[in-house]
Structure 1
């Protein structure tokens, strides 16, 4: 029996202690004024909601309360309304401070702040109209852009047999390149020309040999024109393929179709290169600095082999690294395409107000999407960073058009008429 009592006693003591702690906890939640259940600290004291409201009203009261008895009333939950004077005195006794009661102006200011917070919370959610807008862009994009490039067929193969980048840059700085000349005109000149050795390996990792072309008579016997940019035919086919899809993408949008034909052409000319870069960025590998377009991967030397100078190529690569590192979602990419397409400041735009309204709606949709779908502190800078990238593409577009025209002067047969139509200034 003693052993059993010895075993039970510690358990009983522990149980008693837990009961005492629970009782203390319950007591600590009682209102210091009336003993009702307290919800928290109000005006520096633990009180119930009723005594909190009473104290606020008493402070704002112009005349003091009067006790009908001896000013010694005991305030309880049941009789707290009987004597307001003693109840107020009890409030002060437990530490409630009148200076902590906000004025009407402060209360109004606080309510306005709360209302603004609620409005911001509501505004950070996509509206039904914004959801429909994004869904239309997504459907148009998915129908006109193939991440695997499975529809890109029948293209001219890319010949990577050409001088190393440094040699090519040196050649492209030659005055003859800057002024532009055709292969036929080159035959009438007495200059030696750097040409790729057709017999060297086409592997991108090899260092192709070069030879100097001396014999004008031998060159006249050839029916083919001199090819300075060996990957140009392939890149021309790739760009033409992308342009066709971008036209289809634009035509899929209801607002775009509602514009007059002149504005449709103007917007497409201004945005095609930019939308193309946004789509290429979706397949850009920031680690390898390569564009993985299905079975074919491109790197910057391939772009140089197409005739573009490093002043543009290096800028394009850096741009793609910056944009890709933002980690954009598909929805954010397609909204950015829409913002680029509906640019009211394109030269020659006629329905400027309508286009401006659409771009503003798209920009707001992008910001709202980021606010509602993203988490973490980095989301607050994502929207301005995307807009900065769109602005940077404007400068790139100007340089791209300039260099295409220079390349076309040298190797005109390998650039498609559609590309020339896009970069032309005439509407």
Structure 2
């Protein structure tokens, strides 16, 4: 193992591990070029949410680094750049308390640098922020985690206290089992602007019927959340329209953590990869199973799960929000609670908080893919005027009504 001084000396003649440009110094945990340093800083501070349109495998070189910011940010994280090294006050200079992530192999003489901590499952970070709360970093770069106790953050306990609103009782399960899978009788399927034409669509209609029942539960749950009550009704509608699919998929995947190889869709039902082939849903179920595997690998517990749901719900970049700052402030409270909890209950895995947040954009991509496949299986119908999409009258009615 080379000394840090020798490593720094060798690195001056090495290419940037992200794009191959000339290294300008030690930035946010790794040696990198000035361009990638600035890109990483802007992405984190401005809370950019990038998405790759080419499958997430774009080459990142000096010539192509500006073409796909999503893959470039992925590579920054994969090479070892640290989110927590970005200053919260936007002042110049990153924190210098982070050791280099590199070790040099025998190929060091050729200027090759290898990251010692390059994970293979990092995804795009969405709405990541250094939260000013328990477990965050002070302006001196010192962790305040040592002050934490294993107690549950009060906000997280309040969120857990309303989690029972997601659960079904026996009579509700009975009614669900008797419900028809006909798309025409299904509010969610009708609201989605699609109609069934084949057996695969009939199966999807059954899934939508389950999801429709779950929507009532979601709305009751939302209206009881401490962070949701103070948001205007119009913004509540925007948030639910923006996140209902993510909430449903996240709950299905979390229920499947205890049943490897099977996605639990609710109502006691599940679907395996083999079964999904009959309905043309294999790509969707593959993605959901992959997401479930990540939850299982991270050993996500119920407190982390309910916190993730709230963070997903309170996405401040949802279109047509009237009070985005208010929503963002609420989300940051949930982020602070989750950060404090993971720091206290998973001290041996300090990266868990960041990895949990990195699952959110992966969840969003899974939902986008699922909805795209669903609409390809089904014919568009019941569209609004001028080709508009679904009106989501069900969500509006439930939120404005006393249910």
- TM-score, L = length of structure 1: 0.48
Contact 1:141 1:249 survives alignment (8 Å): yes
- Aligned residue among 153, 156, 159 for 1:137: 159
Alignment match, 2:365 = 395
SS in 1 for 2:353: helix
CA RMSD of aligned residues (A): 3.9
Report if the CA contact (8 A) 1:152-1:241 is conserved. Answer: no
Are 2:243 and 1:271 equivalent residues in the alignment?
Answer: yes
Q: Following superposition of structure 1 onto structure 2, how do residues 80-229 of structure 1 map, counting pairs within 5 Å?
A: 119-122=144-147, 124-125=148-149, 131-146=153-168, 151-155=172-176, 183=197, 227-229=199-201
1:324 aligns with 2:296: yes
Find the counterpart in structure 2 of residue 299 from structure 1: 272
1:363 aligns with one of 304, 319, 335: 335
| Partners of 2:337 and 2:376 in 1: CA distance | 39
| Residue pair 1:304, 1:310 contacting (<8 A) in 2 also | yes
Superposed displacement of residue 120, structure 1:
4.1
User: 2: CA distance between counterparts of 1:181 and 1:274?
Assistant: 22
Deviations 1:62-94 (A, max 9, x none): xxxxxxxxxxxxxxxxxxxxxxxxxxxxxxxxx
Residue 356 of structure 2 corresponds to residue 383 of structure 1: no
Report the secondary structure of 2:159's partner residue.
Answer: helix
CA distance in 1, matches of 2:261, 2:343: 30
Whether the 8 Å CA contact 1:125–1:372 is kept in 2: the answer is yes
**Residues 315, 328 of structure 2: 8 Å contact kept:** yes
- Over 3 Å counting, the alpha-carbon distance change for 1:242 and 1:420 in structure 2 is farther
Aligned counterpart, 2:73: none
Q: Distance in 2 between matches of 1:182 and 1:326?
A: 38
Secondary structure of 2:315's partner?
Answer: coil
How far apart are the structure 1 equivalents of 2:165 and 2:216?
12
Q: Is the 8 A contact 1:281 1:320 kept in 2?
A: yes
Unaligned runs of 5+ in 2: 1-137, 181-193, 383-388, 398-403
Question: Are 1:266 and 1:349, in contact at CA under 8 Å, matched by a contact in 2?
Answer: yes
Structure 2 CA distance for aligned equivalents of residues 360 and 227 of structure 1: 44
Aligned counterpart in structure 2 of residue 310 of structure 1, from 272, 282, 286: 282
Q: 2: CA distance between counterparts of 1:354 and 1:257?
A: 12
1:345 aligned to 2:366?
no
Provide the C-alpha distance between the structure 2 equivalents of 1:308 and 1:410, rounded to a whole number of angstroms.
18
Matched-pair contact (CA < 8 Å) for 1:304–1:313: no
Change beyond 3 A, Cα 1:420–1:329: same
Per the alignment, do residues 120 and 239 of structure 1 end up closer, same or farther by CA in structure 2, a change over 3 Å counting?
closer
Runs of 5+ consecutive residues of structure 1 not aligned to the other structure: 1-112, 160-179, 184-225, 413-418
Instruction: Answer 1 or 2: which has greater helix percent.
Output: 1
1-structure distance, mates of 2:179, 2:246? 24
Q: Displaced runs of 4+ in structure 1, greater than 6 A?
A: 115-118
1:134, 1:335 within 8 Å by CA — same for their partners in 2? yes
Structure 2 distance, partners of 1:136, 1:182, is: 41
Aligned counterparts, 1:51-62, within 5 A: none
8 Å CA contact retained: 2:243, 2:312: yes
Q: Which of 277, 284, 292 does residue 256 from structure 2 map onto?
A: 284
Q: 1:350 to 1:411 in 2, by over 3 A?
A: closer
Is the CA contact 1:269–1:423 (under 8 Å) kept in the aligned structure 2?
A: no
May I ask how many residue pairs the two structures share in their alignment?
A: 240
| In 2, Cα distance between equivalents of 1:235 and 1:381 | 35
Give SS of 1:239's match.
helix
Query: TM-score normalised to the size of structure 2?
Result: 0.51
- Corresponding position of 1:222: none
The Cα of 1:251 is off from its aligned counterpart by 0.8
